Structure 1
Amino acid sequence: MGTKSTYHERIKEEKRACAIAAAEELFFEKGYARTTLAQIAKLAGLSTGTLFNHFPTKELIFETIVKHFWELDPEWDFPPVLGSPLQGLIKFGRDYACVLTRDGMAPLFRVVIAEAKQFPELSLFHYELGEGAVHQKLTQYLLDEVQLGNINLPDAAKTANEFMSIIAGQVLWPKMLLLDFSISREQAFQIADEAAHMIINKYAR
């Protein structure tokens, strides 16, 4: 019974993964508005009924794609240790840079921006699950370090925004505008580390 149940679960996950991969390909190629669930099912090799069982709406499958893009890899998914704002910022910065340099992140941003007026819910998903979630966690971390007396910040939320903007401005936005732009993970980490040092030098007690 257990083996049969495991087999069915594996098949279910494989079909779900195929649907997500197909949707991602179509969204990036055709845009959100011009992609239909029928097209996604066909590309994934699934019946529309099977796809509907996994994702009743196109909105839900897009939200799932956004979640996947912003999830940290298991080896990175742990909070920074309080006590060293520099090391904490380096951890946050590298996590952020790691996510921003993933294949497909720039096309995902392009879809969200292009469809923002017609489908504002896409921007909401992307912000709440991505940039907004990172900003909220970083702000709380900085507030905790302020509370411990390890750093003096006039506005933790603004500092978090400043830090993230420095990284995104060099890691993501050139890729959005220049199709031939490329950056290695090591280069992105160096940018994140430099941003952390800039913030500490500006606000260290």
Structure 2
Amino acid sequence: MDAEAFIRAHTAIARPPLVPEVALHLATEITPIWQASEEWLRQTGIEPPFWAFAWPGGQALARLVLDGPQAVAGRRVLDFAAGCGIAAIAAVQAGAAVVEAAEIDPLAIAACRVNAALNGVALVLPRDDVVGAACRWDIILAGDVCYEAPMTAHILPWLRAMAASGAEVWLADPGRAYLPRDGLSPLGSFRVPTSLELEDRTERIVTIARLLPS
């Protein structure tokens, strides 16, 4: 079974509560998709199936983009650590000129591809890790990326460098431990319904801020 067939076989089409404009292939329960992905893990060394859920940060970014399309219209957008691709798809719907959805997990890349097709939009899917790349974007969307210390330490200097190069870097965070405490300019906040299978509560307050250069 190839990656796209795997995604279709283990998900159902759903619309996230905060962003009903976007349809996605999502897991209906966490245990079956995790078990199925573990078999793929043994075979291919892929990451756990984070792509199978519309995480609060991605939903909040998508909502902000769709509510204020003028912010991305005609611009070059990167959805960094895109997961299911919800923010990238919303950016296309809002009129962005070019939208890249960056992931390092091959299943997540495939999920972005099938979800883009489901919504009738076109995404650019880089094959290489974009961390360390020179800036080629006007806006970088980063949802829920500060959940682990090593991850944050790896990406934050690059994201700040992108901000110093002229990109707007939007961080959406639902209260993770490693969000930087300074160098942020607030853009808004959303209450996002969540599942107790994924979170420790039924709702997360997601704050969105612009990351400033060092």
- Do these two structures clear the TM 0.5 threshold for a shared fold by scoring above it? no
Rg larger in structure: 1
TM-score, length basis structure 2:
0.25
- The structure that is helix-richer by fraction is 1
- The structure that is strand-richer by fraction is 2
TM-score, length basis structure 1:
0.26
